[in-house]
Structure 1
Amino acid sequence: MRINYINGLRLIATLGVVFLHASAGILDLREIPSPTDKFMHTCFKYSMQFAVPIFVMISGALFLNPAKEIGYPLMLRKYVKRIALALLIFGLPMCLIETYFSNSGGVLTSIIHFITGHSWTHMWYLYMLIGLYLITPIIKPFVTQATDKDWIAALILMFVISSLFPTLNNMGAGLTSWMIISTPYIFIYMLGYWLCWKAPQGIVGNRSALTVVTLLCLAIIVAKCYYGFNYYGYADPVTICLAATLFLLFRSFNMNWKFANWIAPYCFGIYLVHNVFINFAYKFLKIETESVVPILNFIGFFLLFTLLSLASTYILMKIPFMRKYIL
């Protein structure tokens, strides 16, 4: 069964990741003298963090679908192999480049960083994705047999112990002994399945309420940035809520977006290579802060990074091995 809106979600998540890293790179590598500009880029960074949960939700919606039979032989042979090859071909060179430019060691150090998951920041997602793939056959029986009440209870419990409690703890609540699970991505993975296949039509069809919640989440993120509250990253409850409402909004429209369908095969490649151009611009060329920080300039750089990543992926997909086994 084709899910029309998935490619639309994949597109906005891909653009969101590029936007996020373009802004985060400025904050991490530059001293921004203007408080207004610094606040603006902080808002950009955190408001775009919905992209990663949406990627995880898409995977959950597709791989946990009971109609999709996936055991360990197929999972290892096809999906885990693809991500492992992507890590080897893209992640290891990134480790080598980072080690060289930071003068922090040689080839052996780079290999150790690669094995231990210390590649460029965005590559962590691939290591995590392998874990989700490997756990999929284990949680699939629950997906196929659980009642609606079981699903609600499981999602609430996982939200509390993997998102809410860690967020409160990150804000200084001291809940370190309260059954905290530090990795929330199994919850987000399963939530993606529920949003796609189980969410009641009364929620999905209420576009006004979903829009209000989406805007409220964005307002909360801006307020948190303004007042300097600690942010629990991709597992922050507000971020997960924003990703979920966007997912439901796309589901409610179920739009067969031709542009998204066209660009969907390139999204994974864009994710893999976009940080090459961001790091080249910020670290190697060392573009001055005043050249990239203003909003119009920054949007120009974001579009440039996106287009260069798309063009690179298009070229890479001309290579049969890359097209067949990785991209």
Structure 2
Amino acid sequence: MRPRSSAWSRASPASAVYLGSGRQPGAGRLRMNEGRENLAWLDLLRVAAALAVVVVHVSAAPVVYLPDLTSLERHAANLLDSLSRWCIGVFIMVSGALLLDPERRESVPGFFRKRVRRILVPILFWSAAYFALTLALGRPLTPTKALQLLWEGRPWYHMWYLFMVIGLYAVTPILRSYVARSGTELRWGVTILALVLTSLWDLRLAIDEEHLPATVATMFVPYLGYYMLGYELRRLAPIAVSSDLLWLGFGVGAIATIVGSQQLMSAYGASRPGLYMYEYLSPNVILMSAALFCLASRTGSGLGHGGGRGAFIARWVAGVAPLTLGIYLWHPMLIVAFRKLGLTAIGFENGLGVVLVVVPVFALSLLLTWLMSRIPILRAAVGL
């Protein structure tokens, strides 16, 4: 379900994610709080999803505006875009995996005090920054329009996630109490039902070419299924589902997205129905998101154990993961800057346009976020 902006307006970071929690020794399918649970795989997902967000936004131009849908350039953009669509589901599942854990020892007032600063300061700072960019680009922006955009969570196309996460924060204490008092079968049933209903609703909106009016008060509701799914999947031991089955699930979802989006775009163009397979609530993307989350849990739980390359990767991931919110907040501004300098993903017949833009945008976003993290007065603006 999407606000009035394009299919590429809803990709964002897990700004709500916090590491922590231990686990007690035990066996079986459940693994929550078993001994000292290695959560490095969640950091790995955050970094990978931050990169995927940049891919989604950079690929938007060639996917939508290239007239020849059969060109190598268009196929490459569709491939990269489709393979990155899991980013939203994974970000929200990582948040749910951590924040819905009833073992977290914090009061409700303490929960809100900790999160208000980490989300409101970035919202205020970057809303002002992107309103300034709007004016700098010569676009009209009245005070009334600015207030409307804030209410709709759209100071810029990517900022919806920060406003959406406010809603997730608001219901987290209630959901955490529900998790602590309910059985596994009931929770799985509610989670699956939530995903199915929102997916069907999103399909109906696509068929009718409608958009669900999004406001700060309601935009979190369609993503509650992802939020609860993250907690349930974290509780499963890595061996609960075979890696072959997980790869099959991811592959089916990916192929459906790649082929389906191409066919729908050919039939309907860049309309609501034509972009449906890119939807974060479409069944194919939900399948990709859940499968990748489980694959990361299965293969990344040992990340950082031992030495060598694995230890280096673990240290790098641990260093970058806290900066993912800043990467997300910076990258659209840099896409605009590169476009003004004449560098876009369009115009590379070899199909490398998206990659050639994504790499510098991601790297520079990371660098700028790191620099802000070193300046005390600016750290809070990137959630640190």
Q: TM-score range by the shorter chain?
A: 0.7 to 0.9
| Partner of residue 194 from structure 2, selected from 146, 158, 182 | 158
The residue aligned with 1:231 is 277
Letter in 2 for 1:321: I
Task: Confirm or deny: 8 A CA contact 2:53 2:328 kept in the other structure.
Answer: yes
User: How many Å apart are 1:168 and its aligned residue?
Assistant: 4.9
CA distance in 2, matches of 1:246, 1:24: 23
Task: Confirm or deny: 8 A CA contact 1:170 1:232 kept in the other structure.
Answer: no
| Partner of residue 192 from structure 1, selected from 224, 230, 242 | 230
Task: Confirm or deny: 8 A CA contact 2:326 2:366 kept in the other structure.
Answer: yes
Q: What is the TM-score with the length of structure 1 in the denominator?
A: 0.87
User: How many Å apart are 1:291 and its aligned residue?
Assistant: 4.1
Letter in 2 for 1:190: M
The residue aligned with 2:70 is 35
The residue aligned with 2:298 is 252
Residues 79 and 182 (structure 1 numbering): CA distance in 2 closer, same or farther, change over 3 Å?
Answer: closer
Pair 1:127-2:163 in alignment: yes
| Partner of residue 318 from structure 2, selected from 249, 255, 261 | 261
The residue aligned with 1:322 is 378
Pair 1:281-2:328 in alignment: no
Residues 268 and 289 (structure 1 numbering): CA distance in 2 closer, same or farther, change over 3 Å?
Answer: closer
User: How many Å apart are 1:306 and its aligned residue?
Assistant: 0.7
Residues 293 and 141 (structure 1 numbering): CA distance in 2 closer, same or farther, change over 3 Å?
Answer: farther
Query: What is the aligned length?
Result: 318
Residues 56 and 70 (structure 1 numbering): CA distance in 2 closer, same or farther, change over 3 Å?
Answer: farther
Give the 3-state SS of the residue equivalent to 1:295 in structure 2.
coil
Letter in 2 for 1:319: I
Task: Confirm or deny: 8 A CA contact 2:58 2:345 kept in the other structure.
Answer: no
Cα displacement string for residues 26-78 of structure 1 (whole angstroms, at most 9, x for unaligned residues) = 445x4455632234323332331210111100110110011113443223222
Give the 3-state SS of the residue equivalent to 2:291 in structure 1.
helix
Q: What is the TM-score with the length of structure 2 in the denominator?
A: 0.75
Task: Confirm or deny: 8 A CA contact 2:76 2:352 kept in the other structure.
Answer: no
Q: Which runs of no fewer than 5 residues in structure 1 stay unpaired?
A: none
Cα displacement string for residues 182-219 of structure 1 (whole angstroms, at most 9, x for unaligned residues) = 9421110010000111x365534x11111111111111
The residue aligned with 2:25 is none
CA distance in 1, matches of 2:115, 2:97: 15
Give the 3-state SS of the residue equivalent to 2:302 in structure 1.
coil
Question: How much is the aligned-residue C-alpha RMSD, in angstroms?
Answer: 2.7
CA distance in 1, matches of 2:259, 2:168: 33
Equivalent residues in 2 for 1:289-300, closer than 5 Å? 290-291=346-347, 294-300=350-356
Task: Confirm or deny: 8 A CA contact 2:46 2:321 kept in the other structure.
Answer: yes
Give the 3-state SS of the residue equivalent to 2:280 in structure 1.
helix
Letter in 2 for 1:8: L
User: How many Å apart are 1:117 and its aligned residue?
Assistant: 1.9
Residues 264 and 201 (structure 1 numbering): CA distance in 2 closer, same or farther, change over 3 Å?
Answer: closer
| Partner of residue 203 from structure 1, selected from 240, 250, 255 | 240
Pair 1:143-2:190 in alignment: no
User: How many Å apart are 1:269 and its aligned residue?
Assistant: 1.0
Residues 222 and 299 (structure 1 numbering): CA distance in 2 closer, same or farther, change over 3 Å?
Answer: same
Q: Which runs of no fewer than 5 residues in structure 2 stay unpaired?
A: 1-21, 23-37, 213-218, 265-273, 304-313
CA distance in 2, matches of 1:288, 1:122: 18
Letter in 1 for 2:356: G
Task: Confirm or deny: 8 A CA contact 1:100 1:106 kept in the other structure.
Answer: no
CA distance in 2, matches of 1:251, 1:288: 35
The structure with more helix, counted as a fraction of residues = 1
Letter in 1 for 2:165: L
| Partner of residue 288 from structure 2, selected from 234, 242, 245 | 242
Task: Confirm or deny: 8 A CA contact 1:72 1:134 kept in the other structure.
Answer: no
The residue aligned with 1:103 is 139
| Identity rate, percent | 25
CA distance in 2, matches of 1:185, 1:49: 15
Letter in 2 for 1:258: R
Task: Confirm or deny: 8 A CA contact 1:64 1:136 kept in the other structure.
Answer: yes
User: How many Å apart are 1:10 and its aligned residue?
Assistant: 0.8
Give the 3-state SS of the residue equivalent to 1:235 in structure 2.
coil
User: How many Å apart are 1:16 and its aligned residue?
Assistant: 0.4
Task: Confirm or deny: 8 A CA contact 2:102 2:176 kept in the other structure.
Answer: yes
More off after superposition, 83-92 vs 98-107:
98-107
CA distance in 2, matches of 1:54, 1:43: 19
CA distance in 1, matches of 2:178, 2:66: 49
CA distance in 2, matches of 1:106, 1:166: 32
Task: Confirm or deny: 8 A CA contact 1:57 1:189 kept in the other structure.
Answer: yes
